[in-house]
Every structure is written in C-alpha cells, then in structure tokens.
Amino acid sequence: MTVTIYDVAREAGVSMATVSRVVNNNPNVKPQTRKKVYEAIERLGYRPNAVARGLASKKTTTVGVVIPDISNAIFAEVARGIEDIANMYHYNIILCNADKRKEKEIRVVNTLLEKQVDGLLFMGGAVTDEHLQAFKTANVPVVLCATTDEHGVIPSVDINHEEAAYDAVRTLIANGHRRIAMISGTLQDPSNGYARFHGYKRAIEEAGITYDESLVRTGNYRYESGVEAVKYFLELPERPTAVFAATDEMAIGAIHSIQDAGLKVPENISVISVDNSRMASMVRPQLTTVAQPMYDIGAVSMRLLTKLMKKEAVEQAKVILPHEVITRNSVGGAV
Amino acid sequence: MTVTIYDVAREAGVSMATVSRVVNNNPNVKPQTRKKVYEAIERLGYRPNAVARGLASKKTTTVGVVIPDISNAIFAEVARGIEDIANMYHYNIILCNADKRKEKEIRVVNTLLEKQVDGLLFMGGAVTDEHLQAFKTANVPVVLCATTDEHGVIPSVDINHEEAAYDAVRTLIANGHRRIAMISGTLQDPSNGYARFHGYKRAIEEAGITYDESLVRTGNYRYESGVEAVKYFLELPERPTAVFAATDEMAIGAIHSIQDAGLKVPENISVISVDNSRMASMVRPQLTTVAQPMYDIGAVSMRLLTKLMKKEAVEQAKVILPHEVITRNSVGGAV
DNA sequence: CTGTTAGCGCATTCAA
DNA sequence: TTGAATGCGCTAACAG
C-alpha cells in the first residue's frame, strides 16, 4: 500500500542507503544516480515518512508550544511570530492551550515530550518548581515566552512588565494627573498582574502620591471588567482623573464606561494601558498605550530556541525586548 | 541515556510486551504485575516514546491544521474550538499558517502528510483541483473547515455565507433602507468574498432595488479598508443610508469613519455586518451583525474528523451550521 | 495472563 | 560513490 524507501530503491536499481542520501540532499551521490532516484520517486509517488525518520535520527523537526489561550488576540500574535520563524527553519509546531492552569500545563508539557519534540516554547502563568522539574526531565531545550520565571534559570524572552506599567503611569503623571486609578489583573499572574501593579505603585509613590487602595480594582483582562471597574470608580466620593488599565481590552471597556456615563475621554478622564493590540487604534478616541511587541516576542523566542536546539552558543539567554509608549488620543492634561 | 520499554521490563522482571500492555491500559494484565510495572516505570522515570509508537502502530494521535492566519481573531477562535475537541479525544494538533496562498497550502499539506498525521483539518481559500489532488494522495481523512468547496466532494463544516449576507441585508431592507452600500471582500475568496457579495445582491434585487455598482467597494477585511470605503461613499452625489460590511472589522472601521465625518450611527447611516466577533460588542454603538459560530465550526469539524478517523459512520459529511442576526444598536430606520 | 518474535520506515555506521 | 547490515523504541500477532 504505502510506498517506502525500499520500493524506490528497487525501482531505481540502487540501495536504500542511496535513496536515503538523495532524499536528505547528501552531496555524495553521482548526479546520474541522483536523477534515477528522483525519477523513481516521482513515478512511485513516494513520500518520506517523517515518523520513521524521527525514530532513526532522533529528531522530529517539530517543537511544542504551550500557550494560555490561542483565541486571545495577544497570544495569537505571539503564536504567529513563533510559527513564522519555525517555518523559516523548517520546524512545525504542536500547539496546546493550557489556560495558565498549572496541572494542564504540566500535563501538556509531558505529552509534548512524549511526542519527542526537539524543543519547547512555554507560555504560561507562574513557573513553579513542578514546572522546573518537568523541564529538567526534558532532554530538549526549553524557552519561556512572555512568561516570567522568578528562578531565572530558564532562557526566556519577554518585555519588562514592571517598567512598562511604570512608564504608562509616568505619562499620566507628566500630564499633571495625581489621582490615578488602576484596573489590574490578578496578582497571581506574575507578568500581567503582579509586575504591572508594582510598576503602577512605584510610579505613584516616586511622584509623592500616597497609594490609595480604593483606586485599584482587579479585573480579568476582559472588556467587561474594564466597564465594571470604571462604574465603581465613578461612584467614589472623589473620582480619579486618569485610569491605567493593565490591558488594552480593559482600557477599551473603561473608555466606553466613561462615555456611557456622559463623560469624555480624555477631557474628563484620561485612559492609558499596556499592550498596543490592534484594537488600540480601533476605538474612539484611539488608545494611548505601551507597545508590547508580541509578534517579536514570539519570533525572537523561536529563534533563540533554534539556536539552542542546534547547540549554538547564545550570548543572551534572557532577553528583554523594548517597550514603547504609543501616544494616541486617550490621554490629556489633568482637569 | 533514555530509558526504554525494555529497561522497564528488566527492572520489573517481566517482558516488554507486558510493559506495553500496562502502558496502553490493556486489561489483560494481572493487577499485581501491573503494580510491579508501574513501580518500575516510576523508579526509572520512564516516558513512552510516541514516535516509536507511531511507527509501530501507524497512528500518531496528531492531526494537521491548515489555517489562513492564526493572528486573525476569527480563525483563532476556530482554532480554539478545534484544539478543545482534539484535546478531548486525546489528539494534538500541528498548526500551519498558509495565508490562503495556494502554493503554501499545498506545501504544508504535504509536510503534514509526511509527518503522518491521522487526519487533516483544512481552512483555506479556494479549493482547487491541485488541492483535491493533494487530499487524494493522503490516506487519511480530510475535512474542510470554514472553507467552501465548489466540488462538494470533501466533508466540510461551515455556515451558509450567501444566506448570512442575505439575511443581513434583509434586516436593512426591513428597516426601510433602499440605498444600501456594501464593503465587500475580494471576489476571489469564495466564502467571505464571493458568497457574501451575492447574498447582498440577491437581497437587493429581490426587494426590487436596482443594483448600483458604485455602492460596492472591495476591502481587505481590515479596519482601515472600512474607513476608506466609507470616505468614498460619503462623497457620492447621493450617499447611502445603510452600509453592509462583509466583516465586523470593516464594519467598525465604517462606523468610525461615519462618526469622524460628523454623522451618527444609526441616526444618519446604519451599519451591519457578518461575524459577531468579540469586538462587535466593544464598539459604540454596539454592532448589529450576523453571528457566525466560529468556535463551533472548529469544534464540529474536529468532532467530524475524529469520527472519520475512527471510520465511524457519519450521517452528514457536509454540515452547515446556523447563523443568526444579533440585534444591537448600529441599525435604525431609514431617514 | 504472559512471553517471543517480527517488523514499522528510515538513518547511519562500516566496508567496499 | 555505493551497498549491506544494524537498530531506533515500540506494537501486534502468535503461541503458550
């Protein structure tokens, strides 16, 4: 039924070793026989079996990608960066959603390892000792992608979330704002949650503003939680003049919530966030936000992984990509 | 270095066949020996090699997914549906972006087949004879996902794009509109382009409105092209009272373009589209649009594929999922 | 219930 | 430049 390398060998009147050589572009083959082999391949419609090749060579040219949720625009962008570079280096990716849930993350890492991936790109929540344990039993390189590792032992690619949040809040302060609210993520999330919150707090305190707990609400990164947080802020005895949201989506919810209350952005309340997703320029007013280069994070981490897989020397095993505040129209001077 | 099934067998004092049985949950093993084997596995840190298993069993429990662009929210949603169901049936997915480009599509289908995927989920542009040829050489089932096949020979899951567009335009007509513009996709795209355009045309003509070429602009599905199309419409001697956009994103561009011109939606111009992406409720006014159940399209097509892979009988090899117009606030009565 | 024996399709020595 | 032989780690008869 299936035509194998052996069938091709017989058809071409050579040995299977020779067929293997031409299929793998080994230069040690006389052009003439190479031609014969190609013709036989064509005639038989031979298609190399990558599984057999994988078993024999111990390389699968596929990498595993653990991602929180591919339907989230931010991660989808990272995934595209990963796949483009993977493709460029002739790797395929096996994609697994793990929803930042530890058990699921560990589980998919193990099945990926069973499938003998040549490397692992991990995008998740907190990196625990159990994660480290799982990574250690892998005999293949692992790189963390858009994921902070407190231990700092695994190669990683990310932005500095704390600094990005700090810069966002600084922009607000530079515009004269002092009563600045934050819509945060959960503090259990090291990057989008904890780090961004601390960037906010540091900026506030450095500016001599006393931290006010009632000005911080925890959201779930989604639009609706931005809407809800602002409803709460507007009922405060003294409402904020600016809002810093941990993600674009919550910021957009915030903007609409403000507008629904009959107020204007940025005339009455300014809004800034971190992400610079495509949606940021698809709202009115367009959102001022700190650009997080998601595609590049994916691309760079995949590139790093290829080097690791080839055992090439890498200068930097922990790369921090630059962020940048993108000024649009959602931030104005304090009233 | 790597511990194999043979090592486990020796450690547990049984044969490799027995180890294989317990690993594969074969009931024909005495509980006692099963226990011994589990202990040996634990002690040695044995991890089954799926590649070897794949070679021996001729099954890889992975399916190939060809997708236009994972960073596009619509497709990312489909992908999530696919992966959730795949996961449920213990399959993994290899994901390949092909940007609806024929050569790339054919190429990735072939590498996926080399990797011995157990099935193929194809999401692409037009299905040509070359595609069909490639699918035929696959010895595994293929299902088309959100992709129309003029030939109708491959199992598929999609909505009826022509009908969805028709229903959208009908709602406009029901609201008294007669001068209805369309922001279309490219006519080369069978589903989002051609079919939706024809749904528009049919609705128009059935209502006794003469088709006016100057009221149709071709966009590229992105926000910006919605903005541009409306700019053009507003300069027409007689501007439209309603706009039908082939996708949500273009519709949002249209809304903002209308607002930027000092007009109101829906007071001056109504806007409707097809997709019901998450963004639809993240604009003001919230977008009235025809819901296309992307997650379900992914989930159902993956479910169909599992049946095909198990050679189970399937009642329906061509499933059309229902669409539904979601009424929000972007459509009003004609002025 | 358990063990023995063959491959699965290929890469890779080692010789020639 | 080519071929023969071996084994990658496992499943799947088959026999017992």
Mapping DSSP onto H, E and C, the string for chain B reads: CCCCHHHHHHHHCCCHHHHHHHHCCCCCCCHHHHHHHHHHHHHHCCCCCHHHHHHHHCCCCEEEEEECCCCCHHHHHHHHHHHHHHHHCCCEEEEEECCCCHHHHHHHHHHHHHCCCCEEEECCCCCCHHHHHHHHHCCCCEEEECCCCCCCCCCEEEECHHHHHHHHHHHHHHCCCCCEEEEECCCCCHHHHHHHHHHHHHHHHHCCCCCCHHHEEECCCCHHHHHHHHHHHHCCCCCCCEEEECCHHHHHHHHHHHHHCCCCCCCCCEEEEEECCHHHHHCCCCCEEEECCHHHHHHHHHHHHHHHHCCCCCCCCEEEECCEEECCCCCCCCC
- Find the CB nearest A97 among B83, B112, B259: B83
Instruction: Return chain B residues 40..69 having CB < 7 Å to nucleic acid strand D.
Output: 46, 48-49, 52-53, 55-57
pLDDT tens string B293-304? 999 999 999 999
Which residues of chain B are modeled with pLDDT < 50?
A: none
Query: Does position A59 have pLDDT exceeding 80, yes or no?
Result: yes
**CB-based contact, A49 to chain B, within 8 Å:** yes
CB A49 within 8 A of CB B116: yes
Mean pLDDT of chain A: 95
pLDDT of residue A250: 97
Residues A194-210: what's their mean pLDDT? 97
Residues A33-59: what's their mean pLDDT? 95
- Find the CB nearest B80 among A2, A62, A69: A69
pLDDT tens string A232-241? 999 999 999 9
Name the nucleotide nearest B28; use CA and C1'. Answer: C1
CA distance A10 to A18: 11
Kindly list the residues from chain A whose CB atom is less than 8 angstroms away from the CB atom of residue B93. 94-95
**Which of A289, A270, A279 is closest to A167 using CA atoms?**
A289
pLDDT of residue B335: 76
Backbone angles phi, psi at B157, to 5 degrees: -135, 125
3-state secondary structure A289-319: EEECCHHHHHHHHHHHHHHHHCCCCCCCCEE
pLDDT of residue B23: 94
Q: Parallel, antiparallel, or unpaired for β A270-275 and A156-159?
A: unpaired
CB A247 within 8 A of CB A275: yes
**Which of A99, A167, A112, A175 is closest to A140 using CA atoms?**
A112
pLDDT tens string A127-142? 999 999 999 999 999 9
Domains of chain A: 5-48 (1.10.260.40), 62-159+294-322 (3.40.50.2300), 161-291 (3.40.50.2300)
Place of tokens 């069993």: B57
Query: Does position A162 have pLDDT exceeding 80, yes or no?
Result: yes
Cβ–Cβ gap A71/B77 under 8 Å: yes
pTM of the model as a whole? 0.95
pLDDT level of residue A313 (50, 70, 90 thresholds) = confident
pLDDT of residue A335: 76
pLDDT of residue B152: 86
Instruction: For residue B306, give both structure tokens.
Output: 């599992």
Query: Does position A103 have pLDDT exceeding 90, yes or no?
Result: yes
For residue A253, what is the enclosing H or E element?
A: helix A248-260
- Find the CB nearest B94 among A2, A54, A62: A62
Give whole-number Cα distances, A79 to A42, A122, A299, A300, B69, in Å.
35, 11, 8, 11, 10
Protein residue minimizing CA–C1' distance to C9: A52
pLDDT of residue A149: 87
Length B58 CA → D6 C1' (Å): 22
CA distance A261 to A259: 5
Query: Does position A186 have pLDDT exceeding 80, yes or no?
Result: yes
**CB-based contact, B324 to chain A, within 8 Å:** no
CB A70 within 8 A of CB B86: no
pLDDT tens string A204-247? 999 999 999 999 999 999 999 999 999 999 999 999 999 999 99
Nucleotides of chain C touched by protein CB (<7 A): 1-5, 7-13
CB A97 within 8 A of CB B83: yes
CA distance A309 to A99: 26
A116 sits in the region (left: phi over 0; alpha: psi -120 to 50; else beta) called left
pLDDT of residue B315: 86
Residues A93-108: what's their mean pLDDT? 97
